[in-house]
Amino acid sequence: MATPVFLPPTSYDYVTVQKVQGSETTEASDVLAAEEPLEIRVGYGPESRRQHRTLSVTMRTPGHDFELTAGFLLTEGIIRGREDLQGILYCPDVAKEEERENVVRAELSPASVPDLPRLERHFYTSSSCGVCGKTSIEAVHAASCPVLPTQGPYVATAVIHQLPAQQRAAQALFEQTGGLHAAALFSPAGELLLLREDVGRHNALDKVIGAVLLAGQLPLHGAVLLVSGRASFELVQKAAVAGIPVLAAVGAPSSLAVSAAHNFGMTLCGFVRQNRFNVYSHSWRITGEAEPTS
């Protein structure tokens, strides 16, 4: 008997729908992926005179909010590592009850000196596109991106072929709603290490990176990342900040994503589905047979 998967009740909603099949209409219950705004605030400065500011509002699927916050702070260059983060909490001082678990505050370490002009930019991040264009490009230069390994890891083509099915099998919320993206970390041998889901591709990846950051396990030099949907510049940038050398996507990459992957030394695969895929950069990591990663 399969082990039941626990889903946070705030991650989905039940609605009544009219189902039409041919000429017949029936009433039924449907499950939708929840989408709610998350306001990210930061606290910084000496203990005697802390300052607090709103940094971002992003539309996300509730759940793993602290991981999402930590990953966002890292990949947008606000923090450089776990040592810059003192803690994350839900803000108790909200105006409305429904905001109580939709506003988080990340307290930066007193010794951390954030980029104040960056903090003064009040980002609005949609669930579909992430923080785009100039902001993300600046974040790449601001963050200390780990140098990706120049020897391995090597990943067999057969492993790449298997990743989408493994990811889908582990997507509990997608099976319930059919409306979520996923980001999943695998070992070079194809072992699933971590998966997160969200209505936004960039949010799902920030949750993965945040979980690893909070666990003190960055950089991810031995990991393979699979994302649902297309591979955008933002996803390549975030993966680079986390030190991920191999990024695979079910959909197509953008031209800027391919260019960035070349520059970062990252292996980028696209159209990973139906037993096929394309390799757009640094194809030397993809092998016909598995090779040792040492």
Q: Supply the residues annotated as catalytic.
A: 129
Distance separating alpha carbons of residues 54 and 120, to the nearest angstrom: 8
What type of residue is 94? V
Distance separating alpha carbons of residues 84 and 214, to the nearest angstrom: 11
Q: Give the other-Cβ count within 10 Å of 81's Cβ.
A: 13
Q: Give the other-Cβ count within 10 Å of 7's Cβ.
A: 16
242: closest CA among 113, 73, 99, 19? Answer: 73
Query: 168, 190 in Cβ contact below 8 A?
Result: no
Instruction: Give me the residues paired with residue 285 across strands.
Output: none
